[in-house]
């Protein structure tokens, strides 16, 4: 295909601004549409880990969040500022001093703060979109950046995490920002560009420790420039600029997470907990097994197999042709994937951080396949735009459909909320209810509720009868983990078997196409 024709048809950067604005508008709709989820009754399971530290900072005036597990600083501190400002402006608090009353207000109106926290995640998600475009425009071509941004907004798994007070969308933002700034240093290694890269990488590590994988990529770029200037008068200047940028990585981390060092004992305890080697349903694979899991399970779960295959195809072509800017992105992919594969655990969500790179390779794969078909197959260049768009829609159709359904489910009451409503309508006031994680949010009801990680944890069914429980509530979010590995958890499996045989199943609430949540089973114990 004639390159000039392709450029004329598809690459019109001046018109891409309006397309980016349109994508941002669509993304905003999807992000806000599903923001409610289980609020105002229930926060998601990991959200308190970030909202709690932000509340401590906002209410006490101390900058020590008291928790450094991710560390999540780039999420915690913006939330703290937002909480403090909102309380001062709306609830009559102090703007320039601490507000101890804020914590009490949270206890009475917790949903407001989770909504505000989710807005921080949404803001990061929106800011990531233009960065992906700029990154794609530099490493590939403008149309690749535009299509990559379009692909990014239709991943329901990413959308779900961007609608929570977690640092997942922040990690995507800082990965895209850091890599884009690295390519600018690669093009022209000025001191200011080195300093900006170092700061961005430091903030990335303050978002999530594993983003230290950006460091080796930046270091290799520094080595490249130093090596090229080894026989020139610029050598000392290049070394100085590189050292300044690498120092800024440490400075950026220290400035954004100062209490990691000032409260190092707490930080170390938190890091050791996060680095645990066992977690039911997320362990048991070898290091190569983890790596294979991300390539063949995690990424297809997020992106779908068609897009993943196209991304792998484009990566292979980039390696073969030795495109330097694209090789920088591939280096980050390898370093990051190897880094997370070393962990004893494996999670699908840990693959989210490489999406700013993978979507660009997927977009480039679409372009290359369309180009190949036109040049070798039909040999009609004028069909290129139509073929390109058709292929784009084909590989994105399932993700677009799933994204719409995801937000429909998020906007409807989940099975957990329906379980709450059923118990309020059918259980006697004051009933004693035992339930495990991922079940009904029963705060503010008249019931005597005992929450536990799993119903069979260190207990047998007879204990619940002896202690006068009226209802037990089980969730597939828990019991499915035990049934997936029954040899490892025989006592837990036996507990659920006994529960199903001896107790009366009075209600089973299941998810559907338009309703999210786990399967909730409510059992009544006959006394």
pLDDT of residue 376: 74
On whether the CB atoms of residues 161 and 349 are closer than 8 A, the answer is yes
User: Can you tell me the distance from the alpha carbon of 311 to that of 328, in angstroms, rounded to the nearest whole number?
Assistant: 15
Q: How confident is the model at residue 2 (pLDDT cuts 50, 70, 90)?
A: very low
Percent of the chain at pLDDT exceeding 70: 97
Return the pLDDT at 12.
Answer: 65
User: Which pLDDT belongs to residue 365?
Assistant: 96
pLDDT tens-digit series, residues 353-365? 999 999 999 999 9
pTM for this entry: 0.93
Per-residue confidence (pLDDT) for residue 7, from 0 to 100:
45
- pLDDT bucket at 384, cuts 50 / 70 / 90: confident
pLDDT of residue 274: 85
pLDDT at 9: 45
What phi and psi, each to the nearest 5 degrees, are found at residue 521? Answer: -115, 125
User: What percent of the chain lies above the pLDDT cut of 90?
Assistant: 85
Q: What is the pLDDT of residues 145-157, one digit of tens each?
A: 999 999 999 999 9
Q: Please give the pLDDT value at position 146.
A: 95
Report the SS3 class of residue 319.
Answer: helix
Confirm if 170 and 186 have CB atoms less than 8 A apart: no
pLDDT confidence tier of residue 204, bands split at 50, 70 and 90: very high
pLDDT of 228-240, one tens digit each? 998 898 999 999 9
φ/ψ (deg, to 5) at 409: -65, -40
Q: H or E stretch including 260?
A: helix 259-262
pLDDT of residue 372: 86
pLDDT reading at 56 higher than 50: yes
- Ranking 56-60, 295-299, 304-308, 373-377 by mean pLDDT, the lowest is 373-377
Taking residues 94-108, report their average pLDDT.
Answer: 92
Q: How confident is the model at residue 522 (pLDDT cuts 50, 70, 90)?
A: very high
pLDDT band at 68 (very low <50, low <70, confident <90, very high): very high
Closest CA to 67 of 349, 269, 279, 203: 269
Strands 504-509 vs 448-451: parallel, antiparallel or unpaired: unpaired
Contacts of 87 (CB under 8 A, 6+ apart): 58, 93, 99, 101, 102, 105
CA angle 204, 362, 342 (to 5 degrees): 45
Q: Comparing C-alpha atoms, which of 134, 228, 143 is closest to residue 182?
A: 134
Mean of the per-residue pLDDT values for the chain?
A: 93
Tell which wins on pLDDT, 418 or 11.
Answer: 418
Give me the sign of the Cα torsion angle 261, 265, 270, 275: positive
Q: Once rounded to an integer, what is the mean pLDDT over residues 175-184?
A: 98
pLDDT at 10: 55
| pLDDT band, very low/low/confident/very high, at 5 (cuts 50, 70, 90) | very low
Which pLDDT belongs to residue 387?
A: 87
Q: What confidence score (pLDDT) does residue 527 get?
A: 61
Handedness of CA 396, 401, 406, 411 (dihedral sign): positive
Does pLDDT of 227 surpass 70? Answer: yes
pLDDT of residue 8: 44
- What per-residue confidence (pLDDT) applies to 386? 82
**Distant-in-sequence contacts of 261-264, Cβ < 8 A, 24+ apart:** 262/64, 263/64, 263/66, 263/68
Q: Output b/e per residue, 385-395; b: 16+ Cβ within 10 A.
A: eebbeebbeeb
Is 389's pLDDT higher than 50? yes
Question: Binning pLDDT at 50, 70 and 90, where does residue 82 land?
Answer: very high
* Per-residue pLDDT, 377: 65
pLDDT number for residue 458:
85
Domain ranges (residues) in the chain:
3-58+118-274+286-410, 415-524
Distance separating alpha carbons of residues 169 and 174, to the nearest angstrom: 9
């Amino acid at each position: 295909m004639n390159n000039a024709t392709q450029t004329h048809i598809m690459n019109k950067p001046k018109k891409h601004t309006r397309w980016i604005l349109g994508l941002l508008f669509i993304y905003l709709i999807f992000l806000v549409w599903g923001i409610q989820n289980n609020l105002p009754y229930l926060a998601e399971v990991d959200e308190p880990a970030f909202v709690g530290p932000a509340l401590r900072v906002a209410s006490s005036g101390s900058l020590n969040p008291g928790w450094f597990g991710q560390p999540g600083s780039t999420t915690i501190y913006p939330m703290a500022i937002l909480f403090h400002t909102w309380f001062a402006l709306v609830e009559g608090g102090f703007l320039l001093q601490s507000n101890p009353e804020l914590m009490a207000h949270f206890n009475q109106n917790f949903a407001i703060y989770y909504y505000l926290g989710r807005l921080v995640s949404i803001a990061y998600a929106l800011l990531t979109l233009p960065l992906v475009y700029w990154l794609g425009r530099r490493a590939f071509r403008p149309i690749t950046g535009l299509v990559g941004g379009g692909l990014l907004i239709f991943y329901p798994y990413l959308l779900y995490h961007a609608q929570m007070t977690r640092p997942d969308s922040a990690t995507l933002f800082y990965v895209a920002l850091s890599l884009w700034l690295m390519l600018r240093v690669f093009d022209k290694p000025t001191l200011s560009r080195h300093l900006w890269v170092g700061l961005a990488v430091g903030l990335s590590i303050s978002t999530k420790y594993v983003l230290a994988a950006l460091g080796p990529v930046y270091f290799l770029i520094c080595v490249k420039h130093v090596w090229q200037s080894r026989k020139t008068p610029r050598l000392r200047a290049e070394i100085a600029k590189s050292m300044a940028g690498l120092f800024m990585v440490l400075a950026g981390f220290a400035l954004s997470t100062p209490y990691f060092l000032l409260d190092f004992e707490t930080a170390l305890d938190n890091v050791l907990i996060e680095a645990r080697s066992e977690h039911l349903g997320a362990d048991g694979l070898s290091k190569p097994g983890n790596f294979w899991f991300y390539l063949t399970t995690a990424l297809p779960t997020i992106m779908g197999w068609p897009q993943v295959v196209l991304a792998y195809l484009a990566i292979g072509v980039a390696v073969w042709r030795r495109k330097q800017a694209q090789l920088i992105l591939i280096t980050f992919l390898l370093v990051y994937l190897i880094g997370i594969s070393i962990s004893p655990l494996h999670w699908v969500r840990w693959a989210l951080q490489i999406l700013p790179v993978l979507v660009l390779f997927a977009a480039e794969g679409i372009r290359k396949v369309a180009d190949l078909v036109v040049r070798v197959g039909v040999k009609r260049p004028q069909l290129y735009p139509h073929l390109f768009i058709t292929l784009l829609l084909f590989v994105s159709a399932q993700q677009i459909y799933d994204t719409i359904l995801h937000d429909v489910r998020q906007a409807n009451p989940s099975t957990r909320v329906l379980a709450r409503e059923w118990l309020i309508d059918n259980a006697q006031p004051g009933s004693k209810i035992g339930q495990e994680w991922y079940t009904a949010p029963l705060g503010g009801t008249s019931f005597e509720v005992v929450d536990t990680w799993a119903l069979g944890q260190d207990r047998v069914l007879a204990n619940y009868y002896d202690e006068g429980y009226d209802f037990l509530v089980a969730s597939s979010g828990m019991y499915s983990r035990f049934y997936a590995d029954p040899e490892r958890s025989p006592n837990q499996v036996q507990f659920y078997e006994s529960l199903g045989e001896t107790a009366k199943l009075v209600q089973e609430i299941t998810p559907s196409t338009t309703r999210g949540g786990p399967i909730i089973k409510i059992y009544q114990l006959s006394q």
